[in-house]
Structure formats: structure tokens, C-alpha cells
Amino acid sequence: MARAGHDLVTTSTTLAAGAAGLAVAWFIGFPAPALTGPALMVTALSVIGLRLAVPNILRNACFVIIGLSMGTGVTPEVYAAARQWPLSFILLAISVCTIFFVCRFTLQRFWRQDSETAILSSTPGHLSYILGLSTDTRGDIPTISVIQSTRVLALTLLVPFAVALMGYDTTQMGLPGGKMTLLPLGVSVVLAMLLGLFLNRLRVPAALLIGGMIFSTVTHLSGLVDGHVPLWASIPAFALMGTLIGTRFSGVSMKTLRRALGAGLVVTMIAFVVTIVFAVLLVQIIDLPLPQVLIAFAPGGVESMAAVAVILGADPTFVAAHHVWRLVILTFLAPAVLVRTKRQ
């Protein structure tokens, strides 16, 4: 009984912190305030020692709703542009490998990390998979966790600010157009959740998000459902995503934070600069919006970048396809480099 009461207080405190972060960010005009505000507020409170957490049921609902939001933006015109994607996938693969090897060298050379810690800290994405791999190595798991969490947080903040500096409106929340009514939205959430849980059993990365997007894409293209996810559902989902990112720093000791935060920020800046270079290169070759390519190439968390895409109005299919492709690359890249390192 006492445990349940403690969990309720923790959840309430966490959600209140996220809501306060959203309100402050919206008031001062932050880019993507529903995402960046809660992320900053909850991170700050986590760093000073508060134990914050989001229950799994809310986390799962958040992922499904963001996935549904992405699917509602898929139109038949998207497929007409799909012929441009192969070159984009190739450049993304080169970008991911460049980030990985430059960050690995930097961490080993300047932070004196052992090879396994450097490899796992340098992998640009696939956080849960990387932490799983780290349990079978001699890598420093707390350091890896802080560096990877710093990357996700920083890119969630950097990408909207970068898009804002390009002159785009980043204060709007939700997609324009008609909204789904309550009944189809409720049915979609339940059925998309079931699909996501099934994909999770198949070990599909970001299964609940992908399940929501697949379900929404199919129902919208077929005409069974019409309209976007309404703001009263999408804004809390974006705020929960930002809150989740912030809770990753809860319980981290100051010693670990001091040791790994600098490395995490440097790794993030390397990833961001490489992303910009390859995004600019692609838009010189193919006529695509630079913000859309930047969001698709940025090695942040799949779910957080998906939320950024929806908030900023980027092509959700393009963004999702590239982030899934990045995860596929990393699924094989990190273990291959680890095996080669062990043989040396």
C-alpha cells in the first residue's frame, strides 16, 4: 500500500513538472514547446536529485498516439516522392558511420575510455539495444547511459532551434486540417496498441510507435478514418515524450554526471554537425525541405524525433523510414565493431 502511494506521488510530481515545463516554454516562445519545455524542466529536476518516473501505461499510450499522429500525415503524394529516397538512405548510412567512428576516436583519444565503452557510447541511437549489449561487455554502463541520454535530450532541443533559425514557425503544435472524432480516435488507440504489442513480441524497434503509424497509415489511406489526432490528445503525448526524456537523468549520481556529461555534449555536437553537413548535401542534389531532412537524419531517439516531425509538420513517412533504417544499420554495426575489437 505504501509502495503504491509512493509511486502515485512520484508520477504526480513528474507529470506536474512536465506540465510546468510546457507552460513556461510556451509562454517564452520556445521552439516545439510541448516537447522541449517538459524535457528541460524534468531534466533539471532529475539532475538536482528528484526521483521522477512515468508509468509504463502512460509511456505506451504516448508512443501510440505519436505514431497515430505520424500516420495521419501520410498522403498518396508521399509515394510519388519515394523514388528520391534511395540516395537519401545511402547518405544517411554514410552519416551514421561517420558519426560512429569520429565519436569513438574522440572518446578514446580525449576521454581515455576503453574500447568497449567508447564503441557503445558512440553509437548514434538504439539506446535500449545498446544498453542491452553493454551488459555483456566490460563497458562502463552508467557512463554509456549518461552519454546516450545526453545525446537524445540535446538533439531533441537542438533540432527545433535549428529549424527555427532557418525561419520556420516552430511554435505551432499539431498538424493542420480536420480532426478525428472521439470514437474513431478511441478505437484507433486500442487497435494500434494491440498491433504495437504484437510487434514488440517480434522485437521490432520502437514497436508501439511503429504500430501506431502503420495502423493510422492504413486506415487513412483506405478512407476508413479521416482527420488528424486532436490537440487535446497530441499535446499531452508530446509533453509526455519530453518528460520521459528528462526522467532518464533521474537517479544518476553527480560523480557519474560530471564524468560523462562533457563527453555526451561533445558526442552530440559531432553528431549534429555531421547531420547538418549530410542534410545540406542531400538537399543540393534532391529538392527536399532542409528541416525535413535534418529531422530525418538527426540521430536522436526514434520516438522523440517522430514527435518533432509531427510538431514541425515534416513528412512523417520520410522521417520514420529514415530512423528505422538508422536502427537497422546500428543493429549490425555496433556488434560487428565489438566483435572485431575483442579479436584484436
Of the chain, the percentage scoring pLDDT greater than 70 comes to 92
* Top-confidence residue, 60 or 80: 60
Q: What is the pLDDT of residues 306-322, one digit of tens each?
A: 889 888 888 877 888 88
- Distance of alpha carbon 36 from the chain centroid: 12
| The pLDDT value given to residue 318 | 86
- 127, 163, 147: which is closest to 275 by C-alpha? 163
- Distance of alpha carbon 216 from the chain centroid: 19
Reply yes or no on whether the pLDDT at 69 is more than 60.
yes
| The pLDDT value given to residue 78 | 57
**Contact (Cβ atoms closer than 8 angstroms) between residue 339 and residue 232:** no
Averaged pLDDT, 200-212: 86
Reading the block at residue 118, the C-alpha cell is: 567508447
The answer to whether the Cα torsion of 190, 202, 59, 27 is positive or negative is negative
With bands split at pLDDT 50, 70 and 90, how would you rate the model's confidence at 210?
A: confident
Averaged pLDDT, 203-211: 84
Note down the domain range covering 110: 2-343
| The pLDDT value given to residue 128 | 66
Averaged pLDDT, 336-344: 81
With bands split at pLDDT 50, 70 and 90, how would you rate the model's confidence at 9?
A: confident
Name the 3-class secondary structure at 328: helix
| The pLDDT value given to residue 174 | 59
| The pLDDT value given to residue 285 | 93
Mean pLDDT of the residues in the chain: 88
Reply yes or no on whether the pLDDT at 177 is more than 80.
no
Strand-pairing partners, residue 179, are 228
**Contact (Cβ atoms closer than 8 angstroms) between residue 319 and residue 310:** no
| The pLDDT value given to residue 178 | 78
Please tell me what DSSP assigns to residue 204. -
CATH number, domain with residue 155: 1.20.1530
> In b/e form, how buried is each residue of 89-119, taking b as 16+ CB within 10 angstroms?
eebbeebbebbbebbbebbbeebebebbbbb
Please tell me the total count of domains within the chain: 1
Q: What is the pLDDT of residues 118-139, one digit of tens each?
A: 999 999 987 767 876 787 788 8
How many other CB atoms are there within 10 angstroms of residue 165's CB atom?
A: 10
| The pLDDT value given to residue 79 | 58
Averaged pLDDT, 3-15: 82
Q: What is the pLDDT of residues 266-315, one digit of tens each?
A: 999 999 999 999 999 999 998 889 999 999 999 988 888 888 988 888 88
| The pLDDT value given to residue 172 | 66
| The pLDDT value given to residue 2 | 53
Of the chain, the percentage scoring pLDDT greater than 90 comes to 56
